[in-house]
Amino acid sequence: MTYEAWFQCFHGCPGRYSVYDVIYRCPTCGGLLEVVHNVEALKNRSAAAWMRIMEDRAGTTQWPYGSGVWRYKEWVLPNIDNENIVSMFEGNTNLFQATRLGEQIGVPDLWVKLCGNSHTGSFKDLGMTVLVSAVQQMRAMGKPIRAVAAASTGDTSAALAAYAAAAGIPAIVILPQGKVSVDQLIQPIANGALVLALDTDFDGCMRVVQEITKDETIYLANSMNSLRIEGQKTVSIEIVQQFDWAVPDWIIIPVGNLGNISALGKGLLLLKELGIINKLPRLVAAQAERANPLYRSYQTGFKEKVTIKAQPTLASAIQIGNPVSYDKAVKTLQMFDGIVEQATEDELANAAAVADRTGMYTCPHTGVALAVLFKLVKRGIIKKDDQVVVISTAHGLKFTQFKVGYHENTLDGVVARHANPPIYLPPDPTVVQDTIRRRLDKMERMERDWWDKEW
Ligand SMILES: *Cc1c(COP(=O)(O)O)cnc(C)c1O
Ligand SMILES: [Zn+2]
């Protein structure tokens, strides 16, 4: 038996399609597709043998296994030629114990998976290396694909532009004007993508990109294309490997279009099928209150999909009102005894700030996840002995205006309780000395008691 993967309808309609066909939805029901693997073939190798292979590959420079995605090539996209893989050795991100923050909130076994420490500064690299590699393979097979295109809240476009540029494939990115950070906007510009800023929101951009990719020479790179999910599922696989193949009690992730949580679940289920793990963590989907369609749907027991007009939020990468991977996410949450919780602007910004005070440099989406963590701990749902992983989805340096606004206390809807603006002084040693003395006392006081108050 050979390792292979193909597209199949997520809702179970009959029919298999090549992953190198230009197809994004089921022709029968219109639902999303998913990549299905020949798991029986994978099971011919024992769990122990797989684990040894993946351990040997970790940290290598050997093409393409030095990538945190392609290390797991047989589990991701087995039937691709190595020479068509487009990779910058993404993934391999650090999973570290957030000791000080964990102590402050009374959950010492708290860990952060820093997906922002990847090539373009977000976890979007993981899916994009797979999608762009597949396009490279399709072009090598003679398929007439001229360009790749995606609507984006900022990080997808950065990743698409970088990987397409590395492959020499033209990229088209469609952004909601004024709704992505300056840092995110400049990334695809620098990488030579065609950057189209539309006077609408992400959901509006998503509608446009689905129209323009009806032309089969322009390949759709959004996460409704399930090739992206195959790459992103390596986040949960890598976490488990980093824990020496053990499973944490909780994984918390900030969600928007819901591809990422679906991917987390898919990676874990594969590990379970292969006999590498025998329990599953509980998953928590964290949403911004201003863009909370999944939270609203969760409140009704997922009776039906809720679609809203998402309001502007500091967590701009998750300002999405009509999440495309809704069905996949609901199924995942149901299988993983999942929880959906939300955070206000005030909560997410202050949560990011208290984490920064312990040495992190968190993006606003990670702030959403942390705020949700704090709520679940205060409510006693997450317990003091639980092992918890918070997925930090992007690098804080991509959101400088958010940090500046916080520390200047000028953010809408936020009281910056942990603002730390610079102090301007004359070059007078006495004044400087007095100021240091006064401020050190205050700093020590502030560090002690934030958890017992409103953070
Ligand atoms: C894309 C993104 C998310 C949300 O991922 P979805 O798959 O859309 O749910 C969260 N955080 C950051 C930083 C992102 O770029
Ligand atoms: Zn179908």
Taking only the tens place, the pLDDT of each residue in 166-206 is 999 999 999 999 988 999 999 999 999 999 999 999 999 99
Does 240 share its domain with 374?
Answer: yes
Does 310 share its domain with 403?
Answer: yes
Predicted pLDDT at 225: 95
Is residue 101 domain-resident?
yes
Q: Helix, strand or coil for residue 254?
A: strand
Task: Using the atom order of ligand 1, give the atom closest to the CA of residue 257.
Answer: 8
Question: Would you state the structure tokens that stand for residue 203, as one six-digit string?
Answer: 């959901």
Alpha carbons 429 and 26: distance in angstroms, whole number: 72
Number of domains in the chain: 2
- pLDDT tens across the length of the chain (455 residues): 799 999 999 999 999 999 999 999 999 999 999 999 999 999 999 999 999 999 999 989 999 999 999 999 999 999 999 999 999 999 999 999 999 999 999 999 999 999 999 999 999 999 999 999 999 999 999 999 999 999 999 999 999 999 999 999 999 999 999 988 999 999 999 999 999 999 999 999 999 999 999 999 999 999 899 999 999 999 999 999 999 999 999 999 999 999 999 999 999 999 999 999 999 999 999 999 999 999 999 999 999 999 999 999 999 999 999 999 999 999 999 999 999 999 999 999 999 999 999 999 999 999 999 999 999 999 999 999 999 999 999 999 999 999 999 999 999 999 999 999 999 999 999 999 999 999 998 887 766 678 988 77
Burial pattern 254-273, b for ≥16 Cβ within 10 A else e, equals bbbbbbbbbbbbbbbbbbee
Predicted pLDDT at 83: 98
Phi, psi of 416 (to 5 degrees): -80, 85
Alpha carbons 373 and 65: distance in angstroms, whole number: 34
Is residue 357 domain-resident?
yes
Is residue 41 domain-resident?
no
Is residue 9 domain-resident?
no
| Beta strand 388-392 pairing with 110-114 | parallel
Does 334 share its domain with 371?
Answer: yes
CATH code of the domain covering residue 367: 3.40.50.1100
Q: Which helix (H) or strand (E) holds 319?
A: none
Task: Using the atom order of ligand 1, give the atom closest to the CA of residue 398.
Answer: 13
Q: Domain of 273?
A: 95-121+229-407
Predicted pLDDT at 388: 99
DSSP bridge pairs for 95: 113
The beta-strand segments (E) located in 153-211 are 171-176, 194-198
Does 241 share its domain with 347?
Answer: yes
Does 234 share its domain with 382?
Answer: yes
Alpha carbons 455 and 353: distance in angstroms, whole number: 9
264 CA distance to ligand 2 middle (Å): 22
Does 430 share its domain with 393?
Answer: no
16 CA distance to ligand 2 middle (Å): 11
Query: Does residue 363 line the site of ligand 1, with CB under 6 A?
Result: yes
Is residue 28 domain-resident?
no
Does 346 share its domain with 320?
Answer: yes
436 CA distance to ligand 1 middle (Å): 41
Q: Are the C-beta atoms of residues 299 and 341 closer than 8 Å to each other?
A: no
Is residue 264 domain-resident?
yes
Does 377 share its domain with 447?
Answer: no
Does 337 share its domain with 367?
Answer: yes
Place of tokens 């006693």: 380
For 168, residues 6+ apart whose C-beta sits below 8 A from its C-beta are: none
Q: Can you give the pTM of this predicted structure?
A: 0.97
Does 269 share its domain with 345?
Answer: yes
Is residue 16 domain-resident?
no
Q: Helix, strand or coil for residue 288?
A: strand
Is residue 53 domain-resident?
no
Predicted pLDDT at 448: 64
Alpha carbons 149 and 162: distance in angstroms, whole number: 13
Does 236 share its domain with 104?
Answer: yes
Does 382 share its domain with 252?
Answer: yes
